[in-house]
Amino acid sequence: MQTIALLVCSCIFLFIFQKALAFWKAIRAIHNHPGHRTLFSPASFLSNILPKVAGITLGPNHLFDDKHDTFAAAGWDIHTAVSAFPQASTIVYLADAAAIKEVTSSRARFPKPVHHYSALTFYGHNIVASEGEEWKKYRKISAPAFSDRNNKLVWDASVDIVQGLFGDMWAGQDVITVDHCVDITLPIALFVIGAAGFGRSISWKEDSVVPPGHAMTFKDSLHIVTTDFFFKLIFPDKAMGLTKRMQRTRKAFEELRLYMVEMIHERQHAEKVQRHDLFSSLLAANDHTLDITTLSEDEVIGNIYIFLVAGHETTAHTLSFTFALLALYPEEQDKLFEHIKSVIPDGQKPTYEQMPLLTYSLAVFYETLRLFPPVTAIPKIPTEDTSLVASNIRGEKCTIPVPKDADITICVPGLHYNPRYWKDPHAFKPSRFLEDWPRDAFLPFSAGARACIGRKFFETEGIAILTTLVSHYKLSIKEEPQFAHETFEERKARVLAARQGLTTTPLRVPLVFTRRK
């Protein structure tokens, strides 16, 4: 018995020694550059479910919660995280604009680690979760849909859908109260990407009806898939029936695939009409009759899924934060309203041609994206042993070794809240985007060759929705008895609270929309 116990203790000691040695080597490889030293990797499953505990885990929301604080504590705009489990690993975090530009401009040296994007490949390979020749193929097929001609379609669809909200859902009401703003912004954004991207028009009244052959609406299935995707990521299919929520998630994945297959078949068998939307580009690459098939049906479905997610959740959440900020800062809302009135005469419908004149709408939208970037981490991986130069607020520089097996994470909140680039970075100041501003320190759409292909689509939609809604309704925070005595800072923290899902997600934004006289 003593022999067995001695053997077990020896194995445990050997295991701990090996882990400690690997941990020490990882720290030595980066010259012990300042940062976090934790038991569990920030990329591990445990770190994404456990709260932040010093020396143990960084927590699930650490990049957004910490913003630039960890960089300030390290004394450099590059810091590191070395962890022991599940294996010794190193992450190099960047909030230095020059270093980030070097990384995003050197695709061969710092490619995208596609294995980090498994949550986006449930339905098939796609433009986001791909690299190299495969990514080039998807981008070449998709790019024609993001033209100026289609952006006008995006603008018109956005304005019509918001005005449809006024006429179909808010008719006869001067005051509308919503418990969570995403209940409004999610369907708006979904209807826009459906109409402008896929030729799938949905009215506000139709949206609540489950069509024959389905168990839930298109909107609900997409919302559940993007909200509860982690169940599908963590658990095998056989385990997806353990709870009602997991059963609902499994059904949502099935329903969304069915909707996408129906969309494909309906368009393939519809009367041929010349369209220039994203759906047409994807289907043309899968047209067996033309003998030009470059996309399989799974690839078509995978890319439909990724554009639906990117085209509705990102916009919906950004608009929710935008409306919350305008409600919290009525003086900024008044500035925006007055600027809109100076561009668009009373009673007139905003046009795509007026978009370049709506500079304050764009400034408000950009400032929201700076404060609440949809994606907080942009991963890269070095293909060789290399180094990066870090700077700090004192103008000093230092060179940091970056081993081939390290992960590089561009920390978008760290960059967006970096006082080297943004004066008073925690303040909501849209006017900063009306002046000369640091473009290399603004990364809501990533940068370089892998920058978001739908940036102009997203901006066009967001400005059209924001302008149309603010020109007709005044926004304010819903008054609730349980929060009657909170300070402004407490209210701000409550209304702007966020978590990390596929994108930065508002927890609850209770608003009141009051019709302007």
Q: What is the dihedral of CA 304, 305, 311, 317, to 10 degrees?
A: 170
Above 60 in pLDDT, residue 289?
Answer: no
Q: Report the pLDDT value the prediction gives residue 361, as an integer from 0 to 100.
A: 97
- Strands 78-85 and 89-94 come out as antiparallel
Contact 463, 477 (CB under 8 A): no
Q: Torsions phi, psi of 185, nearest 5?
A: -75, -30
Strand, coil or helix: 430: helix
Between 85 and 148, the higher pLDDT residue:
85
Q: Report the pLDDT value the prediction gives residue 143, as an integer from 0 to 100.
A: 84
Between 281 and 327, the higher pLDDT residue:
327
DSSP string, 240-288: TTSSHHHHHHHHHHHHHHHHHHHHHHHHHTSPP----SHHHHHHHTT-G
DSSP string, 344-388: S-TTPPP-GGGGGG-HHHHHHHHHHHHHS-S--EEEE--SSSEEE
In angstroms, what CA-CA distances link 220 with 138, 166, 443? 28, 22, 30
Stated pTM of the model: 0.92
Q: Is the peptide bond before 382 cis (omega within 30 degrees of 0)?
A: no
Contact 70, 36 (CB under 8 A): yes
Strand, coil or helix: 294: coil
Report the candidate in 480, 470, 481, 482 with the shortest Cα–Cα distance to residue 514.
Answer: 470
Ranges of each domain in the chain? 26-116+380-416, 134-375+444-515
Q: What is the mean pLDDT of residues 246-250?
A: 90
The set of residues, in sequence order, having a beta carbon less than 8 Å from that of 274 and lying 6+ positions away, is none
Above 60 in pLDDT, residue 288?
Answer: no
Report the candidate in 92, 111, 2, 95 with the shortest Cα–Cα distance to residue 42.
Answer: 92
Strand, coil or helix: 321: helix
Q: Report the pLDDT value the prediction gives residue 159, as an integer from 0 to 100.
A: 95
Above 60 in pLDDT, residue 292?
Answer: no
- Strands 498-500 and 473-477 come out as unpaired
Q: Report the pLDDT value the prediction gives residue 108, as an integer from 0 to 100.
A: 87
Strand, coil or helix: 44: coil
Q: How far apart are CA 394 and CA 449, in angstroms?
A: 32
Q: Which two tokens stand for residue 196?
A: 């402008």
Q: How far apart are CA 144 and CA 150, in angstroms?
A: 9
Between 92 and 47, the higher pLDDT residue:
92
Lowest mean pLDDT among 60-64, 194-198, 358-362: 194-198
Exposure letters 165-189 (e unless 16+ CB within 10 A, then b):
bbeeebeeeeebebebbbebbbbbb
Lowest mean pLDDT among 21-35, 65-79, 167-181, 198-212: 198-212
Share of the chain above pLDDT 90, in %: 53
Q: Is 452 annotated as a binding residue?
A: yes
Q: What is the mean pLDDT of residues 399-422?
A: 96
How far out from the chain centre does Cα 364 lie?
Answer: 18
DSSP label at residue 514: E
Q: How far apart are CA 412 and CA 392, in angstroms?
A: 17
**Mean pLDDT, the chain, whole residue set:** 89
- The CATH T-level fold of domain 134-375+444-515 is Cytochrome p450 (1.10.630)
Q: Any bridge partners for residue 178, and if so which?
A: 511
Q: Which two tokens stand for residue 70?
A: 């960890």
Confidence of residue 229 (pLDDT cuts 50, 70, 90): confident
Q: Which two tokens stand for residue 229?
A: 């995707």
Q: What is the mean pLDDT of residues 215-230?
A: 85
